[in-house]
Structure 1
Amino acid sequence: MRYYSVYIDKTNDFYTYASDDENIKVGDRVLVSFRNKERVGLILKEELEKEFSFKVLKIKRVLYEEISFSKKFVDLLLWIKEYYLSSFDQVFSTAVPSGVKIKYEDIYRVVKVDSLFSLNEVFDYFLSKIKVRKKTLVDRFGKDNFSLFIESGYLKNIDGWYCLDENSNCNEEELKNYFELRKEIGKQTLEKKFDKKILDRMVKNGELIFERRIKSFDDEKLKKTYEMKELIEDTKLNLEQQMIKDSIEESDKKHFLIRGVTGSGKTEIYIHLIKRALEKGNGSIFLVPEISLTPQMVLRFKKEFGERVAILHSRLTQNDRAKEWYSIYTGEKQVVLGVRSAIFAPVKNLEYIVIDEEHENSYKQDSNPRYNAKYVGIKRAELENAKVILGSATPSIESYYYAQKGIFQLYEIENRYKDAKLPEIDIVDMKKEEDNFFSEKLLLEMRNALLKKEQIILLLNRKGYSTLIQCEECGYMEECEHCSIKLNYYSSNGSLKCNYCGISKRFTGHCSKCGSDKLSFSGRGVERVEEELRKKFPVNIIRVDGEVAKEKDFYENMYNDFLAGKYDIMIGTQMISRGLHFPNVTVVGVINADTIMSIPDFRSGERTYQMITQVAGRAGRGDKDGKVIIQTYQPENYIIEKIQENSYKNFYEKEIEKREILFYPPFSKVINIGISSEKEAGLEEYCYQVLKAIQDGKIEIYGPMKSLVYKVKGRYRCNIFIKGDRKSINDYKKNLEEKIKKVESKNYRIVVDVDPINLI
């Protein structure tokens, strides 16, 4: 008898079950009795203990119609549970789409072609399926290939029909696959035509093989893939790209960081690596930070890999996501392009995990389980003996530090692909400008670009029209009733909206407190800037922000339309700052570079540098020179200076020095404990109870303190911030959940965020 630790769907604990079935393995889905009901469970591990103080029930059976997982995949999920202090149920439901069922096909397969020449009705039937006419083969493979197959002796002619000559040493894989598939006949088809007793006897005698297998792709898809692969020619890598690609392939190391300036051709390196892996029958996962980057990537990956690429992102329906996931699980698709959750895709023979724009915050999930796809990718590569490649023009401080220490193999590309010039960057001090929106310098560069029929991108990382509406009569400021935040005014749909809880109400034009229509608007949002822009330039303008991006197929349409020149100017929030490639963009303007630097977070400088450098990189990506105008009220700030110098290394040296002095990551590990309640009374007192319960002398604890935005979605929020070296934090986490459980209360919610990205 063997004993297993089993996860029961939709529960928060593991349970012990027994079985004498030696074929059960970790990752199998099983049927068990749980609280007098039949439930589905997942085998997590075999337990070494053989004696228990409780009655151990037996596993009823293995569920072959359910997805079975590898031990490595189960180990990854268990690691996420332990590292991020999440429930296994949360981890499992995030990693595996609901509704995925195994599809089987039952087939009879003939053992040897020689057997077909026996006097047997069944063999005659198989032979009729295996033989094909010349026209069929010419249509399939082409006239020249057909002639080659005949000359090589691969095909045998039987009265004008052709089949594969088993005695020849056929080297054509597609031809062999084509005929192998024709040696199979579905169970239902064959049993309709012949008595099952006859078929059973032939199976017993070894003349036929009966097998049940997971239903996968058909040979038509193989055909399309093969033909597409033949048509595609590799884009040529330059010497530097080729060196990096060869070095990664040949290296014994598993972790790599490519820091390449914007437009340096990092994507070409990734695609060449993925191609070579695919040729060896190995799979790859390519992560992008968010859906806005996928339209151009989808086009590129579809062109390169045809039907072998699966696309996974949050906008897929549950059914479509399950279909894609299943096609990866069966091996039909071996290349995955997707956002954060694609890191869990069940890719066969995984060789590469590529994390593009690795610095992006969107790789970190902001709800349970609060995992970071970058670190999950590193762990998965370790478990599956794969290689993980991080890439960015502006790597996170932590990643670059690990590369400097030799933990990651570092490659740096300082020049753009085909020697394209990096854009010239000018800084404008807005304190000296009369117009609060556009400096004279920016207006001049925009006019020149438009006269030359070139395109422009403008960045302002503030949604809406105005961030503040104040009554001039009574002084009231429109505020969210559920959050301690002022409402944004959106002129495009005449609404007031909270950017935290999403609540929206109609804007009447009057103060909601005294009814006055004397209102002042302050705080410029992207809609307001768009309005001012249209007054100055009667050209085609497209706005890209979280509001318009909700429309179906918006990203794809926006990308294609702007690429085709339908719009002259694109203005938007941070979603336009990365990844997009528009060769005709020559001017990039940053309307207000100070919006992020003002956030009280130790990463605010890093984020400012990354966002502005990334959007600057959209300029001059073709054969035309680019120009970047950065408008700021703090031109003397070292972050702005380093952006103008285009010196990531100098910025890194300044930033890493501050991090070391203040003992912030990468020199420490941090945890944020968020405590919230619908009632403000008693929250502070309860926070101190939690603080007392989790105290530990080996780590630093700060707080409790009110969140920067104190009230969100009707809940008042406080934080306790924990900091320590890696070993101390890892040791501390082992008992943290138990400590918190002792003070849990139904009136308060506690959220533990390991390696937090957002401390607001």
Structure 2
Amino acid sequence: MTGSRLWKVAVDAPLSEPLTYNFSEDLQRGQLVNVPLGRRKTKGLVLGEVFEKPEFEIKSIDSIDNEYEPLPDHFVKWLEWLATYYIHPIGQVVQSAFPPLRKTEKQRQSKRPPVIPQMAQETPPELTPEQAASFETISQHKNFSTHLLFGVTGSGKTEVYLRLLEKVLAEGKRGIVLVPEISLTPQLVQRFARRFGDKIAALHSQLTDRERTNQWWDVVEGRKSILIGARSALFCPVPNLGLIIVDEEHEPSFKQDEKLKYNGRDAAVMLGKIVGCPVILGSATPSLETWKNATEGRYHLHYLKNRVANRSMPEIEVVDLRQQKADDDQQKLIVEKYSHLPFWLSPTLYERMRETLERGDQSALFLNRRGVAQMVVCPACGHTRECPNCDISLTLHAHSHLICHYCDYHENFKVKCPDCKEGELEAIGLGTELLETDLTRLFPGKKVTRADRDEIQSRADLEEMIAQMESGEIDILVGTQMIAKGLDFPKLKLVGLVLADVGFNLPDFRATERSFQLITQMSGRSGRHVKEGESPGAVIIQTFNCEHDSITFARNHDFEGFAKHELQMRAALNYPPCGRLVSFRIQGIHLGKVEETAGLLARRAHALKQQYSQQYSSIEVLGPAEAALAKLRGQFRYHLLIKSSQNSVVNPFSRQVLGDQSWVPSGVKILIDIDPMSLL
């Protein structure tokens, strides 16, 4: 073809490099085009012109997709960074940057409430001195800078965000607000709508494809100035971006588990850097990664140490469940008096609930999701029976045998504790359903509502539950992680953590950090609206392990003490944030093939380390070993970890180890996870 030029195009296929096509017309970087790929047609993003003619036959681009303007250059740079950093095919990364439907494509409209409700405008409250100081200091930064807004629960972080966004809008710029999916509640959206009216767009998983597409165009074409959404909202190319906010930045749900395993918080910081705008990270329990960056001066640190309107922090009381089994005379009297209580409810928590309900206030009981299955524990020494393959508590079935729900290991149930040889193992098995049934019996006439994935399956369910909590119709709320985040109920004065131990013993170096965050966040739901002179909200933590680090620090509201202690532990082992980690998961349906491939991957890693011994001296290769969940959904799973104290070598090393994957046998997949959030 005369006058044809060559173009580098990122196509929607699992290819590590873009492909070369020819096209005679002028193209722009960031333009979406239609191209042939094998026998099919697909979309591709133009990355630039190629001036060296390859040796092979080159296909032609079919046409330009005129529906979309070319993506801005800074945005294409950010997509390229994602592909490089997370070692994921660029053409597949690019697909997330476009809405699910074409602009004109009609979809049957069902009667749904609008994505953003119309709200009466509110007058902003007066800022506290701490809020005002944070706002003023952050406002002075015009270009890229990262800020940690570290504020206790109820200290008014959201108000600071709203003020910063007002300022950005007044300058004619736009903002992105990222929140964890679970916190993307109607409450939050309404709060922004009351301040910014029809300038808000939202992107989250509860929207239909048509709603998502419409919201995307509203932002891209400039009809909306603030985009609130879960992590994927980052992929909307917001024009004239002036501010990015990541609320609850510590939340593990900012990390995507499949396909492109990116971390929304880290990707947001990088987008801010490429665009040249400030990034605000907010949390009452910052991730240790962010905390380390802030205390070492890479991020600016802003404190909100007090709750709004001088409201006091809740009082935290820890109930030692081991004491419930003591056999002195006083304990016998207590046992007789409270013999009607179910095994999971201590007299302390029961009495506090009774008092709270008598005052006309609300209680919420929290149970970690993983506590649904029955496990056995020795009340004398706290020993639990765990699966030797999975480090997951075994589940008691039919009072006769213990089974691992993940890898099918089982053993007979022996009553005598194998650890202390004295206590007798007892089954403690809790589900939110069991709690709901027991509470309905204990508090007749009171409304008990359950909030978990079974009960709340849609946005409408969640909105109804929130409305009933706000109106005081619900007396006791029983829930999983769904109720631990971001919800704000005026009459909620008592929070009970039914069994804090559930998250302690997971085989993951972040288990203690997660437990601390969860206890603190859940406690933060209590007494957010107490007036001066009123008694503060209360939190009761029931546990078999009162000495656990996460409880010791959480009961004193001491995040800084916790972070210092935990960072020392991590540094000794080179774990993040003191070192870098990459996880390779090798999986397939044939155990032999998976083992063999895992061994081969490890040999490649050791050979590479040996070959470039100076460059890669800091690299540690751990494994391969069976993954904690050794078999999941019919797939056998092995793990190999790469660990290093030197940040810059981890990605190149990982990329070289993988190579082009032509050596990987069919039926086996290797999934790479840069900076993994979970090692299960």
Partner AA of 1:240 in structure 2: E
Match of 1:536 in 2: 442
CA distance in 2, matches of 1:599, 1:387: 36
8 Å contact from structure 1 (residues 463, 545) kept in 2: no
Match of 1:41 in 2: 44
1:458 paired with 2:362, answer: no
> Could you report, residue by residue, the CA deviation over 1:371-395 in whole angstroms, capped at 9, with x for unpaired residues?
1101110111111111110000000
Partner AA of 2:570 in structure 1: R
Cα gap change, 1:571 to 1:433, in 2 (>3 Å):
same
Match of 2:133 in 1: 243
Match of 1:356 in 2: 247
Give 1:333 shift.
1.1
1:471 paired with 2:398, answer: yes
Which stretch of the first structure deviates more once superposed, 402-411 or 552-561?
A: 552-561
Match of 1:629 in 2: 540
8 Å contact from structure 2 (residues 83, 90) kept in 1: yes
SS in 1 for 2:180: coil
Partner AA of 1:635 in structure 2: C
Give 1:68 shift.
2.7
Cα gap change, 1:84 to 1:37, in 2 (>3 Å):
closer
Match of 1:730 in 2: 651
CA distance in 1, matches of 2:567, 2:40: 56
SS in 1 for 2:223: coil
Give 1:39 shift.
4.9
CA distance in 1, matches of 2:498, 2:478: 10
Cα gap change, 1:616 to 1:657, in 2 (>3 Å):
same
Alignment root-mean-square deviation, CA: 2.5
Partner AA of 2:211 in structure 1: D
CA distance in 1, matches of 2:58, 2:448: 68
Q: 1:74 aligns with which of 76, 88, 97?
A: 76
8 Å contact from structure 2 (residues 567, 578) kept in 1: no
CA distance in 1, matches of 2:597, 2:56: 37
Give 1:71 shift.
1.6
Q: 2:565 aligns with which of 630, 634, 654?
A: 654
8 Å contact from structure 2 (residues 627, 638) kept in 1: yes
8 Å contact from structure 1 (residues 7, 15) kept in 2: yes
8 Å contact from structure 2 (residues 371, 431) kept in 1: yes
Alignment of 1:657-676 (within 5 A): 657-676=568-587
CA distance in 2, matches of 1:350, 1:25: 21
Match of 1:504 in 2: none
Cα gap change, 1:566 to 1:232, in 2 (>3 Å):
closer
Partner AA of 2:546 in structure 1: P
8 Å contact from structure 1 (residues 8, 15) kept in 2: yes
CA distance in 2, matches of 1:660, 1:562: 44
1:750 paired with 2:670, answer: yes
1:712 paired with 2:619, answer: no
Give 1:469 shift.
4.6
Give 1:479 shift.
6.6
> Could you report, residue by residue, the CA deviation over 1:8-59 in whole angstroms, capped at 9, with x for unpaired residues?
344635222344544x211112344555776543211233x33332344554
SS in 1 for 2:83: helix
Cα gap change, 1:738 to 1:415, in 2 (>3 Å):
same
> Could you report, residue by residue, the CA deviation over 1:184-229 in whole angstroms, capped at 9, with x for unpaired residues?
xxxxxxxxxxxxxxxxxxxxxxxxxxxxxxxxxxxxx9xx99x989
Match of 1:326 in 2: 217
SS in 1 for 2:499: coil
Match of 2:499 in 1: 592
8 Å contact from structure 1 (residues 690, 743) kept in 2: no
> Could you report, residue by residue, the CA deviation over 1:138-195 in whole angstroms, capped at 9, with x for unpaired residues?
xxxxxxxxxxxxxxxxxxxxxxxxxxxxxxxxxxxxxxxxxxxxxxxxxxxxxxxxxx
SS in 1 for 2:201: strand
CA distance in 1, matches of 2:222, 2:402: 58
Give 1:239 shift.
2.1
1:644 paired with 2:555, answer: yes
> Could you report, residue by residue, the CA deviation over 1:241-293 in whole angstroms, capped at 9, with x for unpaired residues?
11211211112551000110000000000011111211222111111111443
CA distance in 2, matches of 1:653, 1:34: 53
8 Å contact from structure 2 (residues 45, 91) kept in 1: no
Match of 1:166 in 2: none
Partner AA of 1:471 in structure 2: A
- Percent identity between matched residues is 33
CA distance in 2, matches of 1:542, 1:66: 47
CA distance in 1, matches of 2:220, 2:34: 22
CA distance in 2, matches of 1:57, 1:708: 46
CA distance in 2, matches of 1:328, 1:686: 46
TM-score (norm 1): 0.75
1:271 paired with 2:162, answer: yes
1:303 paired with 2:194, answer: yes
8 Å contact from structure 2 (residues 184, 229) kept in 1: no
Match of 1:579 in 2: 486
Q: 1:99 aligns with which of 98, 101, 109?
A: 101
CA distance in 1, matches of 2:12, 2:640: 32
8 Å contact from structure 1 (residues 676, 683) kept in 2: yes
Q: 1:613 aligns with which of 520, 537, 547?
A: 520
Give 1:541 shift.
0.9
Partner AA of 1:44 in structure 2: L
Partner AA of 2:605 in structure 1: I
SS in 2 for 1:681: helix
SS in 1 for 2:555: helix
SS in 1 for 2:624: strand
8 Å contact from structure 1 (residues 354, 390) kept in 2: yes
Match of 1:494 in 2: none
Cα gap change, 1:275 to 1:535, in 2 (>3 Å):
same
Partner AA of 1:7 in structure 2: A
Match of 1:383 in 2: 274
Cα gap change, 1:37 to 1:662, in 2 (>3 Å):
closer
Give 1:334 shift.
1.5
8 Å contact from structure 2 (residues 14, 92) kept in 1: no
CA distance in 1, matches of 2:207, 2:409: 32
Match of 1:234 in 2: 124
Partner AA of 1:580 in structure 2: L
Which stretch of the first structure deviates more once superposed, 76-85 or 355-364?
A: 76-85
Question: Higher Cα Rg: structure 1 or 2?
Answer: 1
Which stretch of the first structure deviates more once superposed, 405-414 or 455-464?
A: 455-464
Match of 1:525 in 2: 431
Cα gap change, 1:287 to 1:730, in 2 (>3 Å):
same
Match of 1:507 in 2: none
Partner AA of 1:470 in structure 2: H
Match of 1:701 in 2: 621
Which stretch of the first structure deviates more once superposed, 448-457 or 79-88?
A: 79-88
8 Å contact from structure 2 (residues 119, 193) kept in 1: no
Cα gap change, 1:34 to 1:531, in 2 (>3 Å):
closer
SS in 2 for 1:278: helix
Cα gap change, 1:405 to 1:463, in 2 (>3 Å):
closer
CA distance in 2, matches of 1:339, 1:729: 28
Cα gap change, 1:683 to 1:55, in 2 (>3 Å):
closer
CA distance in 2, matches of 1:628, 1:97: 44
Cα gap change, 1:443 to 1:710, in 2 (>3 Å):
same
TM-score (norm 2): 0.83
Cα gap change, 1:236 to 1:46, in 2 (>3 Å):
farther
CA distance in 1, matches of 2:227, 2:553: 36
Match of 2:67 in 1: 65
Q: Any stretches of 5+ residues in structure 1 without a counterpart?
A: 104-220, 487-519
Give 1:552 shift.
5.2
8 Å contact from structure 1 (residues 530, 571) kept in 2: yes
Partner AA of 1:525 in structure 2: G
Count of aligned pairs: 600
CA distance in 1, matches of 2:539, 2:61: 65
8 Å contact from structure 1 (residues 427, 635) kept in 2: yes
Partner AA of 2:138 in structure 1: I
8 Å contact from structure 1 (residues 484, 712) kept in 2: no
8 Å contact from structure 2 (residues 119, 190) kept in 1: no
